[in-house]
Structure 1
């Protein structure tokens, strides 16, 4: 193992001793109370299988057949999740074919950030993750199940399903993807049209046509945002079948993998001799593996929150310093938009997941002594699935990249580090995705231009007020303020300013996430303005310095002057009412800071852990 990666892993294990021990004790207790159907009263059990057929009822009465829970995030509006419409029946039949039973345990919401971007619904997006976790937990709470299969792909859905699944860490849990849509309009062409629209050079009809050619069918969006980052991280953590992440929907291979995943779930239950619960798969080493793979591929900055929360759900404590130290020794070996012009299908064609596993294992960058849904170790993940004479088999994957412009190698990477910087100073702490920047070292000292919301920037841009070197500050966008929406509507105008030759950057307590592009963006700033962070005292004209080489982010205003200033305040009523946002007031008030996962789920667990310490 790389010595730094081992060092980071060891300190995470040490830091998490108490909380991890408590988690393992909790799931062991849950295991010893099962199989749970046997603990139900006759009336409870009768309700649980009342709608089943005669044969399934007999199997569930016997307690000798596995019952697999299906938790799905299917809906028609979200292209990535539309293929899940037919999955429950496919899974039920595959499970029945091996002598077990599957029941649809529950559905969870799945909102699309691409639809809500720049609109009021986006202010529910991050909180939907915790809602999904609770929905999954409700589905599993009937004590009827021996294992679970989770159907989810996109931004908050997979992290939410992981959080819910880890609450039932004694259950084996298999994640089942649906795959990316085929390639459409190239991502760099889409970005070009977006900037032209921002400049008024093309109209809405041209913009809509470009977007429609890019997002054109069922399946995940093909750029390397949070959705595809989710799939890659989950596979590296050993919760997918090998090579399952990026097989296109509607293909025979996709259906074969779905059936195989369902069958695999039945092999992992406590009714047999291969018991492998999710709580024993997700540990410090698998979490580090997921972070390293994310960094090596230039994945979504949303995971600087999601992985923190996921780890916490398994009793593991990580922070942004862990991300930063892992980034320093993890080479960037893929170029997938917005970290290049290729899409996820090009990555797969160039070598895909099997080659990624081979490279990271050979370089000692990921741990091999981990549990997966396929057994111990990651060697099986260096193979890729194929249909041979109609049968699903795994064959040796590529030994080297088929396209060095998309997929480099560890010895000759695109960058020597993982392209994620943690920057800090008197303004607080933030993260910056540097892998997509033209110059990965950002050194900028410029006057601030302050906005209280993302929409006000449009007016300033259209008036020409931003035609200068500046650092745009957009505040009151944090978790506690308005749920931490993504701010991608800022990217096209800031990109235009950059193309005009101005040096610009963004500082915000909001998010930019998986599509963070060529504009330097210090995001997820904590503490946020709403909770008294210094960003709330910044005034337009103040000098701000960002330096990723030194990891500094400094507001150059004398402390005596700052002491005189009042903390900015803003009426957030419009962001707390309408579009269902009033229903989330309680959750918003309990969200932790960005570095703690922006999560509302661990208030009680934190109290218990504090008592144990």
Structure 2
């Protein structure tokens, strides 16, 4: 097993310490709450006969007998299965595998509840996308409902994609007294090469091929069960879960429908049972996931050029575990974490090529060896991260782990720290008189990272297509799409705009996007300042821009400003926006409360943040009373 060959990087250590210090009161409250819940125990042992009978009425006789005895572990399964979406369809068979594995160990497992799983690939550019970000909160609450029966000694979370894993993580954190293991479904096998897919998308945007050609290309790309193979939010989720030790080593990118995938799922159930109190090696989530684990996730995200969506999700996920991280933490880490992968849209390879080149075991080996991640974090598999340089294999039908590769099998896809594609990470923060935002630079060529041009303003993404087709955008231009933030309309992804902006860039124009909305986790070659905060509807400076204002976006310096005098900008009135069409239809009216409660992008754009304020105040009062 690999160990940390060099001391922890100074910046990584300093960021970790800053997170620990700023989170001290919040984390203390979280740990107290989790310890209290653990002290109250799993209450199936205290239920009345009628209550308990309801809890196992549908079980078979063997499972009923074990649940009555109270001396073995019972796992709660939370799943995002549905058979419409490729990433989640393989999860259909996982509960039976988990139950069978539990029975073989003299324990039990019950399907505690399902959570919704929506696909941004289906809703991209459609009204349903405006529910996407807040599905994270719905997932967290739905999982909480399932686990609230308190019949369980441990939990297994089955989920893969964009908002699903962050939502499940938030719920796992709030049930942090339970040992919890995350189990992925794996990526689909490789289809149409990404370069060809992108080429046909742009040809369609220019009107040079028809819808039939576009649909054929998309179908050849997204062609079977499993996660989409580009490196977007879904696969970033898997990488982060593994580098935090919440997956089994090497579990992230094994294809579905294989014997190895099933063996890993079975072992995950067995290991979760071992991690329960009944199993003799109690490892609750709240003692496992701390500031070191969160920093590991941030470093892994930066080293791999992962999804910009995690500058929202990781903030919300950390908060659920009583930890406060900021965009400045991402920026500080990005300055010392090298870019080690080239996976589409940062290159032409897909996630299966990354796995073949050395995958997670080599990435973790390199980051450990360079002192860029914490080795000393508890994991679902062992006492630290050293085991995560191993890979799983089947030997005579038995699951074993062997040391992974020490060198990359494809330097065009995965490189060691010493030969990194770039010395810094793939994300950075932009700051200036237009507010603060995030930009993903790993896929943006150096010559496109500085854009200074007049703005063209849109209050709805659907307006851009008409402007593009009429030739209004055939110039150097900074496209501003505003009133797309969490309070305005739920902060949809604007990936639908990418082909149009890409065409303009290919025509030789200087092009950039500025928005208080999101871009896809597969944000690509056009520089995009996203997640701008404060958002326009909340009085943000984007609402003061006028057509023709010159904006300067400098990704190298981390600057984003409109080139007018400060006093002129201050005097300008805020633009009005009619948002009614965003708030009704396809269930959007049901999310009015979420929009009302939404926090800013830098705070994770969630709705749960306010619940701690009163709790912290009460904690301070209690401490003062105890001291007195």
Which category of TM-score, normalised to the shorter sequence, fits these structures? Answer: over 0.9
Of the candidates 299, 302, 308, which is equivalent to residue 315 of structure 2?
308
Name the counterpart of 2:561: 554
From 139, 150, 153, give the equivalent of 1:143: 150
2:101 matched residue in structure 1: 94
Distance in structure 1 (CA, Å) of the matches to 2:16 and 2:140: 26
1:294 aligns with 2:289: no
Structure 1 position 232 matched with structure 2 position 226: no
1:359-438 alignment runs, 5 A limit: 359-438=366-445
Question: Take 1:410 and 1:294, find their aligned partners in 2: how far apart are those partners?
Answer: 15
Of 55-64 and 460-469, more deviation after overlay is shown by 55-64
Q: Is the 8 A contact 1:181 1:248 kept in 2?
A: yes
2:183·2:247 contact (CA, 8 Å) conserved in 1?
yes
2:337–2:372 Cα contact (<8 Å) kept:
yes
The alignment partner of 1:209 has SS state of: helix
Q: 2:330 aligns with which of 307, 313, 323?
A: 323
Give the TM-score normalised by the residue count of structure 1: 0.99
User: Which one of the candidate residues 446, 454, 458 is aligned to 1:451?
Assistant: 458
Partner Cα distance (1:606, 1:355) in 2: 42
Deviations 1:155-208 (A, max 9, x none): 000000000111100000011111000000011110110000000000000000
1:125 equivalenced with 2:148 (yes/no): no
Distance in 1 of aligned mates of 2:89 and 2:473:
41
Distance 1:471 1:257 in 2: 48
Q: Confirm or deny: 8 A CA contact 1:74 1:85 kept in the other structure.
A: yes
Structure 1 window deviating more from structure 2 (413-422 vs 48-57): it is: 48-57
Could you tell me how far apart the structure 2 residues matched to 1:113 and 1:335 are? Answer: 23
Q: Post-superposition shift, 1:41?
A: 2.2
Asked if structure 2 preserves the Cα contact closer than 8 Å seen for 1:37 and 1:143, the reply is yes
Q: Secondary structure, in 3 states, of the residue corresponding to 2:261?
A: helix
| Distance in 1, Cα, partners of 2:71 & 2:307 | 43
- In structure 1, how many angstroms separate the alpha carbons of the residues matched to 2:447 and 2:224? 34
Which residue in 1 is equivalent to 2:624? none
Do 1:22 and 1:315's aligned partners in 2 also have CA atoms closer than 8 Å? yes
SS of the equivalent of 1:180 reads coil
Report the alpha carbon displacement of residue 33 of structure 1 after superposing the two structures with TM.
0.5
Verify: 1:538 aligned to 2:545, yes or no.
yes
Alignment-derived partner of residue 600 in structure 2: 593
CA distance in 1, matches of 2:569, 2:32: 49
Coordinate RMSD, CA, aligned: 1.0
Deviations 1:213-259 (A, max 9, x none): 00000000000000000000000000000000000000000000010
Task: Indicate whether 1:173 and 2:184 are aligned.
Answer: no
Q: How does 1:53-64 map to 2 (within 5 A)?
A: 53-64=60-71
SS at match of 2:512: strand
Aligned to 1:568: 575
1:479–1:594 contact (8 Å) kept in structure 2: yes
**Conserved? CA contact 1:4–1:325, under 8 Å:** yes
The answer to whether the Cα contact below 8 Å between 2:455 and 2:549 also exists between their aligned partners in 1 is: yes
2:152 and 2:602 map into 1 onto residues whose CA distance is: 34
Q: CA deviation at 1:62?
A: 1.2
Match of 1:478 among 472, 485, 489: 485
Give, in angstroms, the shift of residue 584 of structure 1.
Answer: 0.7
* Partner of residue 469 from structure 2, selected from 459, 462, 478: 462
User: What is the alpha-carbon distance in structure 2 between the residues aligned to residue 410 and residue 74 of structure 1?
Assistant: 37
Which SS does the other structure have where 2:521 is aligned? helix
Q: 2 CA distance for matches of 1:587 and 1:16? A: 25
In the TM superposition, what whole-angstrom CA distance separates every residue of 1:340-390 from its partner, at most 9, and x where no partner exists? 000000000000011011100000000001010012111111000000111
Question: Which of structure 1's runs of 4+ aligned residues deviate more than 6 A?
Answer: none
Q: CA deviation at 1:313?
A: 0.3
Task: For residue 440 of structure 1, report the CA deviation from its aligned partner.
Answer: 7.4
Match of 1:260 in 2: 267
CA distance in 2, matches of 1:182, 1:363: 32
What is the CA-CA distance between 1:610 and the residue it aligns to?
4.5
CA deviations on 1:484-541 (whole Å, 9 max, x unpaired) are 0000011000000000000000000000131110000000000000101010010110
Query: Structure 1: how far apart are the matches of 2:570 and 2:239?
Result: 46
1:441 CA displacement: 7.1
8 Å contact 2:73–2:279 — kept in the other structure? no
- Counterpart for residue 191 of structure 2: 184
Listed as ranges, the matches of 1:268-283 within 5 Å are 268-283=275-290
SS in 2 for 1:600: coil
The alignment of Structure 1 onto Structure 2 pairs a total of residues equal to 613
Between the aligned partners of 1:323 and 1:165, the Cα distance in structure 2 is 24
Question: Is 1:604–2:611 an aligned residue pair?
Answer: yes
